[in-house]
Structure 1
Amino acid sequence: MHLATNKPLPIDSPDWPIPDNVRAVTTHRGTRLPGNAYSSFNLGLHVNDTGEYVTKHRQALTQSLHIPNEPHWLDQIHGTKIITLNSAQKNPKADGSTTQDYQQACVILTADCLPILMTNIDGTQVAAIHAGWRGLLLGIVDRAIEQFHCPANELLVWLGPCIGPLNFEINATIRQQFIQTHSAWDESFHQNDIGSWFAHLQRLAETRLQELGVEHIHKDTRCTFEHRDTFYSYRRDGQYTGRMAHAIWLEES
């Protein structure tokens, strides 16, 4: 079942200080509907939801943003590839996109992974990054910063809702891989009373951003796993869950 057209879309604007010509939004799951795991504003076509409904949701989102073209949806692969957008691309395989074009909107989908939105203080470039634990370990934060034509301390970064440190259990091998890659990541893990390890995705990203010279980092610390009525969560609900979108674009001054 798709979102009723007479209801406002479940969309928020991230709370962070960005240039006047930069726009960003993040979506919620919308009103939960009994018997429908994807209710009611799923934006992922790859999760076995009815394609017609998802397409309508995407069209409604595009119209609400007042942008000339539909956002560039990615085929996300939990890697580090970040593309520069152009109008000819159709569902490219990547986990991030960037643009300096006023006609293009960057967008990524999440349901526990960390959404990262970025711009520079001059408001001439934006990027949207999908950062799961694999992407963080492989260096997607480094790759994101490399896309910008400015020093790291001129970047403005927003870390969105993701699965929180009390709910993201990982195995000891993964933790060790992180620590061997960057020793400062050790503080992003904790162990519970029975010896299980848990990871703090936002802290992993923030630590690396700070190491690379980023000073302006803003966060929405809500946990997707815990806020059932607001967010989709793959870890909580399994394969029968939808996806939220996080978009950023430039408007002509």
Structure 2
Amino acid sequence: MATPSLLHDWLIPDWPAPAQVRAMCTTRNGGVSAAPHDSLNLGLGTQDAPQAVAANWQRLQAALQAMQPDGQPVHPVRLRQIHGTAVLPIERATPDQQAADASTTSAAGVACVVMAADCLPVLLTNRAGTRVAAAHAGWRGLAGGVLENVLQSFLAQTIAGKAMTAIESEAKNAGNAETVMAWIGPGIGAQAFEVGPEVRAAFVAHDPAAAQHFQARPGKASCGGDKYLADLAALARQRLRAAGVTSIHGNDSSKAWCTVANASRFFSYRRDHRVLGGSGRMAALIWRCG
């Protein structure tokens, strides 16, 4: 297990994952970047100095290796996130920067990675520890079905190679996803995420029960009309439960998980970009040990 000096105040998921599964989520602390990207900015597409971002990745790589029981390197595959719903199956040879907002793998020593600075990072594994996945869930991806698409990758592995009768039996229970668990990382909180009516409409069109996770904030027409405060983490939990996932951990919508409210610990694009001209990115990673 990595030492505290390597982990700083990074998050290690507290969940009943199999012993061979490792996961973590960085914070803004423990790196070399200068303000406004201070200090562990891992975002390749930010305005930070490239050499600082590279040095930060080296520090993260050392922590990943320290978490390996055999000390072998972990190979993270980094995505070019586009706020979509595509899920990329990855192997060690998969090139970085392919356009997708989630990845999944059954290969040992290969880490699924998503970057975040208000959007939710969601990590997933099955109870057997044979497949892991990571998803970047902003409101667009979440409303579009990125989590449901990730869950399909677990189902595909479960039914691969089975007889047709077994496949049909599995399909009847496909919606419960009982063998998958999820951990939701830090993201913009319910008292900070102001959205327009189109965001609420996108979720309610999929499930009317999503309305409970929007708090109306009446506004003047001259300022763009009514607004809502959206509980993004609650919406993610609702989508996972609707898909049958019952083992959900991490972000419970409390203030401690809010990227906007915890400036000393988390990056927040919404909080920092307008005032400081930029913000760094945190990384959430999950992988299987060899």
Q: CA deviation at 1:248?
A: 0.3
What percentage of residue pairs aligned between the two structures are identical? 39
8 Å contact kept, 1:38–1:49:
yes
Aligned: 1:133 with 2:139 = yes
Match of 2:246 among 197, 215, 230: 215
Q: Secondary structure at the residue paired with 2:178?
A: helix
Q: Which amino acid aligns with 1:232?
A: F
Runs of 4+ in structure 1 off by over 6 angstroms are 31-35
Aligned residue identity for 1:44: G
Residue 44 of structure 1 aligns to a residue whose secondary structure is: coil
Q: What CA deviation, in whole Å up to 9, does each residue of 1:133-172 have, x standing for no partner?
A: 0001111111011010345011110011100110000001
Q: 1:165 aligns with which of 166, 190, 193?
A: 190
Quick one: distance in 1 between partners of 2:60 and 2:129?
23
Amino acid at match of 1:127: A
- Look up the equivalent residue of 2:261 and give its one-letter code: E
Displacement of 1:219 in angstroms is 1.9
Alignment of 1:65-144 (within 5 A): 65-66=64-65, 67-86=72-91, 87-144=93-150
Other structure's SS at 1:143 match: helix
Task: Give the TM-score normalised by structure 1.
Answer: 0.92
Question: What does the per-residue CA deviation read over 1:185-225, in whole Å, with 9 as the maximum and x for residues that have no partner?
Answer: 11111113655311111111111111111110012341000
Shift of 1:105: 0.7
Which of 172, 179, 204 lines up with 2:204 in the alignment? 179
Measure how far apart 1:38 and its partner are: 0.3
Q: Which secondary structure does the structure 2 equivalent of 1:45 belong to?
A: coil
Q: Which runs of 5+ in 1 are unaligned?
A: 1-6
Q: Which residue of 2 aligns with 1:225?
A: 260
TM-score when normalising by structure 2: 0.80
Residue 208 of structure 1 aligns with an amino acid whose one-letter code is R
User: What's the CA shift string for 1:96-140, capped at 9, x where partnerless?
Assistant: 110000031111100000110000000110001000000011111
**Larger Cα-atom Rg:** 2
Report the secondary structure of 2:97's partner residue. coil
Counterparts of 2:179 and 2:32 in 1: how far apart (Å)? 43
Instruction: Please point out which of 166, 179, 185 is paired with 1:154.
Output: 179
**Count of residue correspondences:** 246
How many angstroms does 1:173 deviate by? 2.0
Cα displacement (A) at 1:246: 0.3
In the TM superposition, what is the alpha-carbon distance from 1:8 to its structure 2 partner? 3.9
Higher helix share: 2
CA distance in 1, matches of 2:269, 2:184: 19
One-letter amino acid of the structure 1 residue matched with residue 84 of structure 2: G
Decide which moves more: 214-223 or 48-57.
214-223
Q: What SS does the aligned partner of 2:39 have?
A: coil
- Contact 1:32-1:229 at 8 Å conserved across structures: no
> Aligned partner of 1:74: which letter?
L
Is the 8 Å Cα contact of residues 214 and 228 (structure 2) preserved in structure 1? yes
Q: Is the 8 A contact 1:31 1:229 kept in 2?
A: no
- Partners in 1 of 2:18 and 2:203 — Cα distance? 34
Do the aligned residues in 2 keep the contact of 1:9 with 1:30 (CA within 8 Å)?
no
The answer to whether structure 1 residue 249 and structure 2 residue 287 are counterparts is yes
Following superposition, the deviation at residue 9 of structure 1 comes to: 4.5
Equivalent position SS for 2:285: strand
> Deviation string for 1:223-249 (max 9, x for gaps)?
000001000001111151000000000
Q: CA RMSD in A?
A: 1.9
Match of 1:196 in 2: 227
Which stretch of the first structure deviates more once superposed, 142-151 or 221-230? 142-151
CA deviation string 1:54-112 (max 9, x = no partner):
01111211121115243111110000011110213221111011000003111110000
The 3 A distance-change label for structure 1 pair 106 and 90 is same
